[in-house]
Amino acid sequence: MRPSVALGGGGRRKAGAAAAAASREWLVVPASGQARVEEAGKHAVMARTGLPARDLRVLDPLLSYPSTILGRERAIVVNLERVKAVITAAEVLLPNSKDPAFSSFVCDLQARVLASSSDQAAEFTDMDGESSAVTSPFPALISSKANGVGMANMNANVVGGMTHSNSMPTLTATKDGNTKVLPFEFRALEVCLESACRSLEEETSTLEQEAYPALDELTSKISTLNLERVRQIKSRLVAISGRVQKVRDELEHLLDDEMDMAEMYLTEKLTRQENSETSSRVEVDDPSQLEDERDEDYRSEAEVSNGSFIGYKPHIEELEMLLEAYFVQIDGTLNKLSHLREYVDDTEDYINIMLDDKQNQLLQMGVMLSTATVVITAGVAVVGIFGMNIGISLYTDPTNDDEKRASNMRFWETTLGTIAGCTIMYIVAMGWGKRSGLLQ
């Protein structure tokens, strides 16, 4: 019996270890803005958010996934750079991390949520004449007239028709002049987009500050150290450009697909679901009318499920304005990187031109030295001929002073004539090379 007890204990320990490995810490930021740390397993998060397991794998820090924004029935999955979050209509779930950038992101998220709650309470006061706190975990869309005092207090920057502020919630202007507070999931999504875009913008600015002086120094002095610096800068440029391009492509994909954007209206879908449940409990006097309404709802749901969206236009103006604003921002960052890449390419072309010019100069010098070698070789041939042991009058030993002077004269005439002939041959060869274009 002892072996069985040992095996049973080991099995329990393995099961406990597996459960501990499956569970992880999540930082939960509800609509009230009071963050808390919870430990939950994968199945608990799936039941809580309605997400499949493949969507949760996108948030795994040990796995590398491209930038993704997924709209599901009850949640939005965000994976942008270091920002990984699951956004629902009532809360935001973040994989807990000790990264300083993560702490800064959480602070921005809490500040945005708290500011939105206070702003909604202020709007209730303006509409009803009395102060009322927002206690619902699902912030509704609240409309109010955009007066001069409210707009002066916001102190926000308007980008593409949308107002942004670090301390106030995002408001969108409607066609009738009203301002509308975005639902909770869009405010959380905006913080994620803002954090990702800001991170990429900071990395781009840092790279620009390092790249331009290094490239200018390389053009003035070509050395191994400068070439290595430029090589590292180009590697960083390629990596950052790829990351920015992925974020831009994801935003462009969302803007091109209206149904994906419509899936992200979690608060609106939850409100419709509650209204439908409420209306279903209301008794209808005419049973045939109830049956007709059920048939109509069934047909509409069947058309949507089959992908037939003819005549169906979701109201996605608010989310579209939000995504367009950050699409413009990330597109500007990509343009900066494109300009930097063009500057790097121009510098490389300039360096190649300089190296080609140096190579041409070396080739010309080689031609000149080769020509001089040929000419000197001709002179050496003449000297070799005269060095042969043959009997000619030039080699006759002088017997008197007159013959000695004549012999010395003939020697210098021969030597100087050989040197002059070699020089004339070299000058003729150089002139022919410049005339034919081989030399400059």
Q: What single letter denotes the amino acid at residue 237?
A: L
> Does residue 4 register a pLDDT over 70?
no
Q: And the tokens for 194? A: 């803002």
CA distance 191 to 1: 60
Q: And the tokens for 429? A: 């060869």
**Residue 178: what pLDDT?**
54
Instruction: Out of 132-146, 164-178, 315-329, give the one with best mean pLDDT.
Output: 315-329
Q: Return the residue matching tokens 């080699």.
A: 395
What's the pLDDT tens digit per position in 94-150? Answer: 888 887 888 888 888 888 877 765 555 454 444 444 433 333 333 332 333 333 333
Burial class (CB in 10 A: 0-12, 13-18, 19+), 61: exposed
Q: Are 96 and 25 in contact (CB under 8 A)?
A: yes
Sequence-separated (6 or more) residues with CB below 8 Å from residue 333: 197, 200, 201, 204, 244
| β-sheet with 143-145: strand ranges across | 143-145, 178-181, 171-173, 162-164, 157-159
Q: Are 330 and 200 in contact (CB under 8 A)?
A: yes
- pLDDT class for 327, splitting at 50, 70, 90? very high
Q: Report the run of H or E that residue 110 belongs to, with start and end.
A: helix 100-128
**Residue 282: what pLDDT?**
57
Sequence-separated (6 or more) residues with CB below 8 Å from residue 122: none
**Residue 248: what pLDDT?**
93
- pLDDT class for 332, splitting at 50, 70, 90? very high
**Residue 101: what pLDDT?**
80
- pLDDT class for 168, splitting at 50, 70, 90? very low
CA distance 163 to 172: 6
What's the pLDDT tens digit per position in 255-301? Answer: 998 888 888 888 888 888 777 777 666 544 445 555 555 555 544 44
> Does residue 81 register a pLDDT over 80?
yes
Question: What pTM was estimated for this model as a whole?
Answer: 0.67
Residue 74: DSSP 8-state: S
The pLDDT mean for the chain works out to 75
Burial class (CB in 10 A: 0-12, 13-18, 19+), 148: exposed
Burial class (CB in 10 A: 0-12, 13-18, 19+), 124: middle
Burial class (CB in 10 A: 0-12, 13-18, 19+), 362: exposed
